[in-house]
Amino acid sequence: MTIEKSHYELIILGAGPAGLTAGLYASRARIDHVLIEKGAPGGQVLTTDWVDN
């Protein structure tokens, strides 16, 4: 994937639970943003057997 645009109001590094939540709220607030992740979206939650709430 290539990023065509060079200016954003918000750059989110990491697509774990916090990064995905930040992206969701940025979208709802109509903030121009980009989310950058080197691995699979979801972060460490994808590699665990149990998540406490």
Contact 19, 12 (CB under 8 A): yes
Q: Is residue 52 part of a domain?
A: no
Confidence (pLDDT) at 6: 80
**Residue numbers of the domain that contains 36:** 10-43
Number of structural domains in the chain: 1
Q: Is residue 22 part of a domain?
A: yes
Confidence (pLDDT) at 5: 74
Q: Is residue 51 part of a domain?
A: no
Confidence (pLDDT) at 12: 96
Confidence (pLDDT) at 25: 97
Residues near 52 by Cβ (< 8 Å), separated by ≥ 6?
Answer: none
Q: Mean pLDDT per segment of 10 residues, for the chain of length 53 residues?
A: 79 91 96 90 73 69
Report which of 4, 6, 12 is spatially closest to residue 36, judged by C-alpha positions.
Answer: 12
